[in-house]
Structure 1
Amino acid sequence: MTDPSELDAAILRMRLAVLNAGFRKLRYRISPDELVSLIAQKRTDNQAFDQIERKQPMFTRMRIFWKRMRHGDHRER
């Protein structure tokens, strides 16, 4: 059987990979350390996206806003 700590580590690695891919797709500027700190703070994925989005330059936020207006906001709340 798999050790529970190994399973938790695998889930954490998967969650980091998914979040990182999502931020990269949106062209957010984020360091790997920020992702780890968000996970350590027990943030949900939506809270992590909202926190990182607030730190982005105004132009990036406006670009994402208009993209969501055109194509719909498919984020889960």
Structure 2
Amino acid sequence: MYRPDGWDVRVRVGVLVPEGDVGPESELRAMAPLDVGLHSARVPFGGMRAGGVMDPTIPLAPVRSFAEPPYVDDAAE
């Protein structure tokens, strides 16, 4: 049985996702047209505790470190 392998996509979109976030890939796939390929990489995020639990208010330092080298560079590579 034929199954698409993803080589026929019109455009590819790369997404960097916080390591404990469980939804972005499936949510983006549900919203994207079939001819859009989605590629994601996980980036460490210090604002999350074990099990993906987050405080209602996240301090600024973990948010800044999420977007700074080396983690974001390694994930994008």
Pair in the same fold by TM > 0.5:
no
TM (norm. structure 1) is 0.30
Greater gyration radius = 2
Structure with greater contact order relative to length (CA < 8 Å, sep ≥ 6): 2
Greater share of residues in strand: 2
* Greater share of residues in helix: 1
